[in-house]
């Protein structure tokens, strides 16, 4: 698997970008040259320079520092929201796939109903009712993004539960919970890992869109989305307020998508042969 991954130069570049973004998030206090919330009225809308490499915003705050600290918010929302979606999806998918019959039919119809709702508008409706906060955004994105994971896990479990080792475990007296947790879920995680990698990029995009609309992460806490929102009104005179956070969002989402495709080729080589 490592040898196959090392041959994919695009995946290596994507992994390098992801590592760089994670380093920004983990070591923001050392990398950012300024306090991201510090207001400097003497340097309002300063162009990129040696003092402020990404320029400043309408309150004189350093854009580079805000982007670096914003990576903490955007990436943490992406990871935690996807984690919530995976937990819910694995629960529903494993139960539906293992028991089958009426249980499978009821749970999958519920999944179909959830898929009928436009996800982004459902998130907008829930956020409009709830108080906008980082915690609520994580919960809402995770609670509306588990359906594809449930379908993947169900399909894997339907196949795995007919394997000999599951039959042997059942003959030896293992209960349903033990078989699901110990044997089925670990062997069904390959497609879930791919889906999670792709889902992180999608969650970052959703968070950025919500913050851009003003119902996501609230100022003065920096996130890539609300930095974009700040630059909307000054796009004609301060291009750097929009370009730099936009580039970071694009690179991060693209890197996670490319890494997900590489993992899919590694973990499911038959799909690669069909393509």
* Predicted local confidence at residue 274, as pLDDT: 45
Domain boundaries, the chain: 2-38+51-274
| Predicted confidence (pLDDT) per residue in 202-249, tens digit | 888 888 888 888 777 887 888 888 888 888 878 778 888 889 999 999
Rounded to the nearest integer, the mean pLDDT of the chain is 85
Q: How far apart are CA 15 and CA 9, in angstroms?
A: 10
Residues 123-134: what's their mean pLDDT? 76
- Alpha-carbon distance of 136 to 130, in angstroms, equals 7
* DSSP at 239: T
Question: Tens of pLDDT along 83-114?
Answer: 999 999 999 999 999 988 888 899 999 988 88
Q: What CATH fold (topology level) applies to the domain 2-38+51-274?
A: MetI-like fold (1.10.3720)
pLDDT of 143 higher than 60 = yes
- Which ranges of the chain does DSSP label H, i.e. alpha helix? 2-7, 9-26, 28-31, 63-99, 101-116, 119-129, 134-143, 147-160, 164-171, 176-178, 185-187, 189-212, 224-232, 240-267, 269-274
Output the pTM of the full model. Answer: 0.86
> Which of 60-69, 182-191, 216-225, 265-274 holds the top average pLDDT?
60-69
Q: Provide the pLDDT for residue 275.
A: 46
The residues facing 161 across adjacent strands are none
């Amino acid at each position: 698997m490592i040898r196959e991954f090392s041959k994919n130069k695009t995946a290596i570049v994507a992994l390098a970008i992801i590592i760089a973004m994670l380093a920004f998030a983990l070591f923001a206090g050392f990398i950012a040259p300024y306090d991201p919330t510090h207001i400097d009225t003497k340097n309002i809308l300063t162009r990129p320079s040696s003092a402020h490499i990404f320029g400043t915003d309408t309150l004189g705050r350093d854009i580079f520092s805000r982007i670096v600290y914003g990576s903490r918010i955007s990436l943490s929302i992406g990871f935690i929201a996807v984690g919530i979606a995976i937990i819910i999806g694995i629960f529903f998918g494993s139960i539906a796939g293992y028991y089958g019959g009426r249980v499978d039919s009821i749970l999958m119809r519920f999944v179909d109903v959830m898929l009928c709702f436009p996800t982004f508008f459902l998130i907008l409706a829930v956020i409009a009712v709830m108080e906008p906060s980082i915690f609520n955004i994580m919960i809402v994105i995770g609670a509306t993004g588990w359906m594809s994971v449930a379908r993947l896990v169900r399909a894997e479990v339907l196949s795995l539960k007919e394997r000999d080792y599951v039959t042997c475990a059942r003959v030896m007296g293992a209960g349903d919970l033990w078989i699901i947790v110990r044997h089925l879920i670990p062997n069904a995680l390959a497609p879930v890992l791919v889906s999670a990698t792709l889902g992180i990029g999608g969650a970052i995009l959703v968070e950025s869109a919500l913050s851009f609309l003003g119902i996501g992460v609230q100022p003065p806490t920096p996130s890539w989305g609300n930095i974009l929102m700040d630059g909307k009104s000054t796009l004609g005179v301060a291009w750097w307020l929009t370009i730099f956070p936009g580039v970071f969002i694009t690179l991060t989402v693209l890197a996670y998508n490319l890494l997900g495709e590489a993992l899919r080729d590694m973990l499911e080589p038959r799909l690669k042969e069909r393509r």
